[in-house]
Amino acid sequence: MDASAFHEATTHLQISTVKGFFLQDEDSTDPATFDYTTTNFGLIDQRYDSDDDRMQSLTPFKVVYMGRHGEGFHNVAQDFYGTEAWDCYWAKLNGNDTSTWFDAHLTSTGIAQAQVANSFWAREIQEQHIPTPQAYFVSPLHRCLETANVTFSGLDLPSDRPFAPTIKETPSSAVLSNALSQLLREALGIHTCDRRSPLHTIRALFPSYAIEPGFSDPDPLWVPDLRESNSARVVRMKKLLDDVFALTTPTLRPGERREANGEGEVEGTGGESTFISLSSHSGAISCILTAIGHRPFPLRTGAVIPVLVRVERVQGEEPTPSVEPWRPAPECTIDPTAKPIPAGR
């Protein structure tokens, strides 16, 4: 192996949160009361210098808009039965006598939440001239596909930034050599709400969405008896970010070099995406935040937060994280079929 090949083999992407721009980065902001629609996406009200030294360096910066899907029928069922009964019993089923939550669809409330996001984006585009996403990635689960469609359809987007989402399930073979898949999904296993529909169903319902190569018709990774651990999901989300940033920034791919002109700009990087949209799930977004060193910031259904991140290719192998094994569903310590007691009684 020559020296250049060794160098390429021992580098990895280092991704970190850049604080000082958004309220959601600050420990003083309460996620329970935070409202992205009344705080301009949480942008801190201060003077911003377009010549910020951090943005003039060769290090790529990305703004990642992370949107949680609107309320789904599984959310309603979990609230109705309670988390203990849901996790040990009801989440294993496709539904009950009145509702179906296999690959859960949005409720009317969930659709309304996505419409709120659409109206907010429209206002931000018109009044604030907000930079819109240049690349859109969506979980293959129906509630995210539907949320993204309602949120971004009909907006006055720039002609060079259309809503052209990619369903993110498999990594780009040109970037990642391993066969890791299901990148942008919620935790895998046991819960039927997190088992996706066949590809032919997705194509029929969302024909304009781009499907990545290698996307199989049946769901290849969902299993009925084990649930992905949180630490395993953090590793999966880091792989997602590695893939997305390499896809949207060719200069970050292994083996490619970056050269700057005299004005501090990178030559030959046309088509790179600085503003990226991820439409996903509460657990997935939580693990993305962990992977980038962000504070915990749980999102309500339908909520959106942007985060500014620094992305660097650094020398050395990526540290090997400690990953817990997947686990079976918890044993029921209550009768999960007993009629729930209404709140307040």
State residue 340 phi and psi, 5-degree precision: -60, 145
Q: Are 53 and 329 in contact (CB under 8 A)?
A: no
Please state which of the ranges 44-58, 167-181, 329-343 shows the lowest mean pLDDT: 167-181
Burial class (CB in 10 A: 0-12, 13-18, 19+), 139: buried
Angstrom distances, CA of residue 249 to CA of 201, 203, 303, 311, 332: 32, 28, 27, 10, 47
> Which residue is listed with tokens 């799930």?
281
- R_g of the chain computed on alpha carbons: 21
d(C-alpha 31, C-alpha 289), whole Å: 14
Query: Which pLDDT value is given to residue 10?
Result: 86
Q: What is the pLDDT of residues 226-256, one digit of tens each?
A: 999 999 999 999 999 998 888 887 666 655 4
Query: Which pLDDT value is given to residue 1?
Result: 40
Q: Identity (one letter) of the amino acid at 322?
A: S
d(C-alpha 242, C-alpha 175), whole Å: 9
Burial class (CB in 10 A: 0-12, 13-18, 19+), 265: exposed
Residues 6+ apart with CB under 8 A from 158: 132
Q: Are 297 and 32 in contact (CB under 8 A)?
A: no
Residues 6+ apart with CB under 8 A from 161: 132, 133, 134
Higher pLDDT, 252 or 286: 286
Q: Global pTM?
A: 0.87
d(C-alpha 167, C-alpha 184), whole Å: 9
Q: Which residue, among 23, 14, 6, has the nearest Cα to 306 in the 3D structure?
A: 23
Query: Which pLDDT value is given to residue 273?
Result: 87
Judged by DSSP in three states, 167 sits in strand
Query: Which pLDDT value is given to residue 345?
Result: 36
Mean pLDDT of the region 105-119 = 98
Higher pLDDT, 319 or 258: 319
Q: Are 305 and 42 in contact (CB under 8 A)?
A: yes
Q: Are 340 and 84 in contact (CB under 8 A)?
A: no
> What is the average pLDDT score of the chain?
85
Q: Which two tokens stand for residue 28?
A: 């003083």
Mean pLDDT of the region 268-292 = 86
Query: If pLDDT is split at 50, 70 and 90, which confidence band does 171 have?
Result: low
Q: Which residue, among 36, 43, 133, 67, has the nearest Cα to 302 in the 3D structure?
A: 67
Q: Is 82 left (phi over 0), alpha (psi -120 to 50) or beta?
A: left
Angstrom distances, CA of residue 19 to CA of 16, 23, 242, 285, 312: 9, 9, 21, 18, 16
**Percent of the chain residues topping a pLDDT of 70:** 82
Query: Which pLDDT value is given to residue 251?
Result: 65
The length of the chain in residues reads 345
Instruction: List alpha helices for the chain, DSSP H.
Output: 3-9, 53-56, 73-81, 83-88, 108-123, 142-152, 199-205, 230-248, 282-291
d(C-alpha 212, C-alpha 202), whole Å: 13
Query: Which pLDDT value is given to residue 307?
Result: 97
Active-site positions?
A: 69, 186
Query: Which pLDDT value is given to residue 268?
Result: 30
Does residue 340 carry a pLDDT above 70? no
d(C-alpha 275, C-alpha 273), whole Å: 6
